[in-house]
Amino acid sequence: MSVSYRDFVIKSLVTIGLGLFIVLIDTYEFLKDSGTQWIIVGLAFLKIAFIVWQSSRMILEVTVKDAPFYRFLEFIIINVLMVTFSFAVDYFCLYHVNPECFSGIPEKLSIPETLFECLYFSVLNFTNFGYGEILPQIIPAKVLVMLEDLLSFFTIIIVLSDFVSLKESLLESDLLQRKLSKKKEEEGE
């Protein structure tokens, strides 16, 4: 089980690294700002597909192995942390490419301060507390915020609420299969 967590964290860190690579591309101005912004959004789509796939796989693994519920909670905590940090990097990349992407982030902040502002925005957005004082201003920024909202919905609503019913369903299915195989054994005697 811990190997899966390690793999998930490594893959998530690689995804975050891709975002930082975009900052490097923008620093040397290989693309126009709008092209770089849409690359960030495109990578975010790929990231979401990966996270949904990985989360579904982990939920099935935890459920089938009848792992304790705290193992599932560990996974959710790691997942939420990776998603919020990852989107914070995405927001930072967009802001780095075009500071007009977001209003409410003070100008002339240091890189760590800007990253903190982006993390703050990501956490508020993921937890559905609202935008606060930071607002997306252009379409790529709005799309990115919508993607985090959708992933938040998937994680918080669907994953947590369906885990219990999925586990019960799989356990009932397993119990039914055991009863059928036991009945076949009794009939075969």
User: What is the three-class DSSP state of 108?
Assistant: coil
Cα–Cα distance measured from residue 89 to residue 16, given in angstroms and rounded to the nearest whole number? 7
| 119 or 82: which leads in pLDDT | 119
Number of domains in the chain: 1
Instruction: Answer with the residue of higher pLDDT: 129 or 81.
Output: 81
Tokens of 38: 């849409």
On the question of pLDDT at 103 being above 90, the answer is yes
pLDDT at 53 over 90: no
- Residue 189 has a pLDDT of 60
Domain of residue 144, residue span: 2-188
The average confidence (pLDDT) of the chain is 78
User: Residue 84 maps to which CATH number?
Assistant: 1.10.287.70
pLDDT of 6-20, one tens digit each? 776 776 677 667 666
CA distance 168 to 122: 33
